[in-house]
Structure 1
Amino acid sequence: MKTVGIIVEYNPLHNGHVLHYNRSKQITGADAVVAVMSGPFLQRGEPAIVNKRARTEMALRMGVDLVIELPVTYAVQPAEWFAYGACTLLNATGVVDSLSFGSESGTLDNLLPVAEKLVKESDELRKEIARQMSTGSSFPSAYAAAAAAVTGASESSIQALNKLLAKPNNSLGLHYLIALKRLGSPIVPYTIPRESAQYHDAEPAASTIASATGVRKLISEHGLESSAPYVPDYTLDILRREFEEGRGPINWENFRQPMFHALLTQDVTQLQLFNEVTEGLEHRIQRLLPQLAEPSIEALLDSIKTKRYTRTKLQRMLLHILLQNKKSDMTRKQLEEGPGYIRVLGFRESGRALLRTMKKSASLPVITRPSTFDHPFLERDLKAAAVYANAYANPAIPAIFSDYLLPPITL
């Protein structure tokens, strides 16, 4: 059985995702699809609009055979570690033959040569990234410039590479390729061009295609039904159910009280211990808190944002503070070890065959019941899910602990 892996967030699943799913099967000739999906919190440092069980159900309804979770330890990291964690999981299943991801370029021709040169991240690259950031560049810009510099590119090539990696999906795709090479994985990469809507597009660009950002904006400003042209019927049904039950839509402001509690009860020496609190940001937070116009996450982000620190970086920083993720818990050495388990979120009947094969082929334990396994990353996942559920309109104990108690979703 040929199996393609995809790395997703589905926040929420929309028509563009369906297009990617169908084309991934088509170009790889795959019989089955395994999706690695972020849990309640996402790579850009945001909470998902609905919980991971609802988004798993969307994926299964679309046709994905098996959904596994990207641990929050990797899900809320910069592109390097997000990609490394996801690719490690796909590689560890022992059943995935190929990886398909979307990109703005739509070809591997200009990404693979760069990945070949960057597979061994040298001290030179890290120093150049630091130098670029010291001039005020954001991390994505600094990485692109440093990558160009250490690969010995010409001035015209440097400009081309900067332009290439300025696109978020190209940049993430490059890190997928680097991760596969670092792992020595036999997984064959493919890329599919993003069409119509781009990653950050806030407005729909076609009659039936909108980015996840655009879909969420429509829902926020005009209500759920306004998203109907851009999402499958099953996504709309699931969102409608979750909203009616008070489990969505979830956004940063749902975490305002616990977030401000964390910031107001810890001094700078405590704040600086958390992941992504770097270069004196703890002092900036403490200095600007009393100057906010209102106690909202949006006001806080607007206040502390600078040219050097992207909103994504700052959101991830706040999320690490909210979840109490310390730098000592997420060292480079710890992250390089990779996820220590494969957590199954859901599967179709067709996915049972994959699970049976994985019990023999997987290089990591396959977990369907968290109560049977102990790992610090899994404990962090369970806590993150509980924090997320506590933000529901009417949180209840069964919901808060559902990630520990409920079995995978099956179709």
Structure 2
Amino acid sequence: MKTVGIVVEYNPLHNGHVLHYTRSKEITQADAVIAVMSGPFLQRGEPALVHKRARTEMALHMGADLVIELPAAYAVQPAEWFAYGAVSLLKGTGIVDCISFGSESGSLKEMLPLAKALARESGELQIEIAQRMASGSNFPAAYAAAAASVTGESEASIQHLSQLMSQPNNSLGLHYLIALERLDSSIVPYTIPREGANYHDLVPANRNIASATSIRKLILEDGLDSVSSYVPEYTLDILHREFAEGFGPMDWERFRQPLFHALLTHSTSELESYYEVTEGLEHRIKRLLPELREPTVESLLTALKTKRYTRTKLQRMLLHILLHHRKTELTRSQLAEGPGFIRVLGFSTKGRTLLKQMKRSATLPVVMKPSTFSHPYLTWDLEAAAVYANAYPSPAAAQMFSDFFLPPVTL
């Protein structure tokens, strides 16, 4: 059975995701699809709109056969480690033949040779990036210039590379390719051009396809029915059910109290110990807290943001503080070891067959019941799920500890 891997967040699953799923099966001629999905918190440092079980259910309705979780240690990361964690999981299954990702360019022609070069230059690249950021560049610009430098590209090519890398799906796609190289994986990459909507679009520009960003904005401003033309019926039904139960829509302000408690009670040295608290940001946080007109996460992010620190960087930093992720636990050498396990979130009838194959071929432990397995990153995932559910209006223990009590989602 030929199997393609896709890496997703489904926040929420919309028509563009369905298009990517369909075309991925078409161009790869795959019989089955394994989706690596982020848990309750996402790469941009935001809480997911609804719980991971609800998003797993959406994926299975769409046709995904097996959904596995990208641990929070990798899910809340810049593109390099997000991609590395996801590809490590796909390789670890032992049954994935190819990976398909969306990109603005829709071509691997420029990405493949660049990925081969950057995979060999990771140490030098990191030094170059740090130096350029110290000179005032933001991360995307610093990465593009550093990549051109370490690969021997001419100065004339830096602007072109910068434009390529400034597009989020191109950048993430490049890092999937770099991860394949670093892991010496035989998984074959494919890319599909992004259509109908750009990643950051705030307003839908197409009758049937809109970015997840614009869909979330519409939901929060105009209600669920305003997005009915942009999402499958099953997505809308699941969102209606979750919202009716008080399980969404989740946003940063739901986590304001525990976050501000940590920020107010931690010393600057304690804050500095958390992952992504860099370059004196702990002092900036402490200095700005008393100056906020209102103690909201949004006002804090607005106050912290500068040209140097993107909103995404700051959101990830705050999330690592909220979840108590320390620098000593997320070193490059530790992350390079990979996730260490495959956590199954859900599966279809065909997915059950894939699971049987995985149990014979996987190079990582396959975890169906977290209570039967122990790993630091799994502990973090269980804690993240509990923190997420604790932000519900009336949280119950069964919700906070659902990872222990509930089996994988099946259809």
CA distance in 1, matches of 2:234, 2:97: 29
CA distance in 2, matches of 1:122, 1:339: 19
User: How far is 1:121 from its partner?
Assistant: 2.9
CA distance in 2, matches of 1:43, 1:301: 16
User: How far is 1:159 from its partner?
Assistant: 1.4
Map of 1:268-283 to 2, 5 A cutoff? Answer: 268-283=268-283
CA distance in 1, matches of 2:15, 2:57: 15
Q: Is 1:322 the counterpart of 2:322 in the alignment?
A: yes
Q: Which segments of 5 or more consecutive residues in structure 2 lack a partner in the other structure?
A: none
CA distance in 2, matches of 1:263, 1:165: 33
Which stretch has the larger CA shift, 147-156 or 280-289?
147-156
Which stretch has the larger CA shift, 166-175 or 112-121?
112-121
Instruction: Identify the residue that residue 62 of structure 1 maps to in structure 2.
Output: 62
- Partner SS, residue 158 of structure 2: helix
The aligned length equals 411
TM-score normalised per structure 1:
0.99
Map of 1:8-407 to 2, 5 A cutoff? Answer: 8-407=8-407
CA distance in 1, matches of 2:208, 2:346: 28
- Partner SS, residue 108 of structure 2: coil
Superimposed CA distance per residue, residues 170-201 of structure 1 (whole angstroms, 9 cap, x where no aligned partner):
00000000000111111000000001101111
What value does the CA root-mean-square deviation take over the aligned residues?
0.7
Report if the CA contact (8 A) 2:202-2:214 is conserved.
yes
Identity score, percent: 70
- Partner SS, residue 398 of structure 1: helix
Superimposed CA distance per residue, residues 231-290 of structure 1 (whole angstroms, 9 cap, x where no aligned partner):
000000000000000000000000011110110010101000000000000000000000
User: How far is 1:156 from its partner?
Assistant: 2.5
Counterpart residue identity of residue 239, structure 2: L
Counterpart residue identity of residue 391, structure 2: A
- Partner SS, residue 346 of structure 1: strand
Superimposed CA distance per residue, residues 81-119 of structure 1 (whole angstroms, 9 cap, x where no aligned partner):
000000000000011000000000000001111101101
User: How far is 1:124 from its partner?
Assistant: 2.7
- Partner SS, residue 53 of structure 1: helix
CA distance in 2, matches of 1:64, 1:317: 32
Counterpart residue identity of residue 190, structure 2: Y
Superimposed CA distance per residue, residues 113-150 of structure 1 (whole angstroms, 9 cap, x where no aligned partner):
11011012344322211111012111122111100111
CA distance in 1, matches of 2:138, 2:176: 21
CA distance in 2, matches of 1:108, 1:292: 46
Counterpart residue identity of residue 244, structure 1: A
Q: Which segments of 5 or more consecutive residues in structure 1 lack a partner in the other structure?
A: none
Report if the CA contact (8 A) 2:121-2:150 is conserved.
no
CA distance in 1, matches of 2:319, 2:122: 29
User: How far is 1:155 from its partner?
Assistant: 2.6
Superimposed CA distance per residue, residues 147-178 of structure 1 (whole angstroms, 9 cap, x where no aligned partner):
01111112322111111001011000000000
Which stretch has the larger CA shift, 50-59 or 135-144?
135-144
Counterpart residue identity of residue 374, structure 2: D
Report if the CA contact (8 A) 2:87-2:180 is conserved.
yes
Counterpart residue identity of residue 253, structure 1: E
- List 4+ stretches of structure 1 deviating above 6 A: none
Counterpart residue identity of residue 73, structure 1: A
- Partner SS, residue 384 of structure 2: helix
CA distance in 1, matches of 2:334, 2:127: 21
CA distance in 2, matches of 1:116, 1:46: 31
TM-score normalised per structure 2:
0.99
CA distance in 2, matches of 1:373, 1:125: 36
